[in-house]
């Protein structure tokens, strides 16, 4: 959640505008323009002399000053005030179909693809489809879809993988999809 640094949106009451990040982006565009000017001026030198040195020095120093000031502003008025809406983040995580990527090693590509299709067709969260289809036990599903675990490097839990693939519920679900 962005910190409020100015009155809200003129067309959307209650919205917090990303004014500071937008300002930082504008500064980056200016620095890109300065970089282009410096590159063109540097190409204009003849016989190791460059009459464009004042432009090069000015734009380079200006860009450094702009970026330094912008980074300070971004830190003070944006980064330090950021907060996480844990409830909303959890909601988005649970609704996201990209979670199937973590399930792929455990239930296989074909089953994972079918689960996504069912979730889309029925407008249901992926975990709900998996639990309703009795593909996995809830505790195993929670373990696989743990956000902290998913963001750390690691190897697939081979024991859990085998347990899932050997379970009667998983085999029945797979058969119902007519998959081998």
One domain for residues 104 and 160: yes
Instruction: Convert the pLDDT of each residue in 4-56 to its tens digit.
Output: 888 777 788 888 889 999 999 999 999 999 999 999 999 987 777 889 999 99
One domain for residues 164 and 95: yes
One domain for residues 97 and 169: yes
The C-alpha atoms of residue 79 and residue 162 are separated, in whole angstroms, by 44
pLDDT attached to residue 180: 56
One domain for residues 152 and 136: yes
One domain for residues 68 and 95: no
Is 73 a member of any domain? yes
Nearest to 19 by CA among 39, 30, 32, 3: 3
> Does residue 9 carry a catalytic annotation?
yes
One domain for residues 98 and 117: yes
One domain for residues 29 and 71: yes
The C-alpha atoms of residue 140 and residue 130 are separated, in whole angstroms, by 11
pLDDT attached to residue 176: 86
* Helix (H/G/I), strand (E/B), else coil: 162: helix
Boundaries of domain holding 28: 19-81
One domain for residues 123 and 73: no
Which residues of the chain are modeled with pLDDT < 70?
Answer: 179-180
One domain for residues 39 and 74: yes
* Domains: count for the chain: 2
Residue with tokens 């204009």: 44
pLDDT attached to residue 11: 82
Is 2 a member of any domain? no
One domain for residues 142 and 160: yes
pLDDT attached to residue 149: 78
Q: What is the DSSP string of 28-87?
A: HHHHHHHHHHHHHHHHT-BTTB-TTHHHHHHHHHHHHHHHHHHHHHHHHHTGGG----HH
One domain for residues 45 and 26: yes
Q: What is the pTM of this model?
A: 0.61
Is 11 a member of any domain? no
pLDDT attached to residue 20: 96
One domain for residues 103 and 167: yes
Active-site hit among 9, 89, 98, 176: 9
């Amino acid at each position: 959640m962005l910190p409020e640094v100015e009155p809200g949106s003129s067309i959307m009451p209650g919205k917090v505008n990303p004014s500071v990040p937008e300002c930082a982006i504008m500064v980056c565009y200016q620095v890109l323009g300065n970089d282009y000017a410096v590159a063109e001026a540097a190409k204009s030198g003849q016989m190791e002399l460059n009459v464009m040195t004042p432009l090069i020095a000015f734009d380079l120093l200006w860009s450094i000053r702009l970026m330094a000031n912008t980074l300070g502003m971004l830190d003070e008025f944006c980064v330090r005030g950021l907060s996480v809406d844990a409830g909303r983040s959890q909601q988005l995580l649970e609704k996201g179909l990209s979670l199937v990527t973590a399930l792929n090693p455990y239930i296989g590509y074909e089953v994972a693809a079918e689960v996504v299709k069912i979730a889309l067709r029925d407008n249901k969260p992926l975990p709900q489809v998996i639990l309703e289809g009795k593909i996995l036990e809830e505790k195993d599903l929670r373990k696989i879809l743990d956000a902290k675990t998913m963001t750390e490097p690691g190897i697939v839990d081979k024991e859990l993988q085998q347990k899932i693939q050997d379970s009667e519920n998983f085999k029945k679900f797979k058969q119902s999809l007519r998959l081998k």
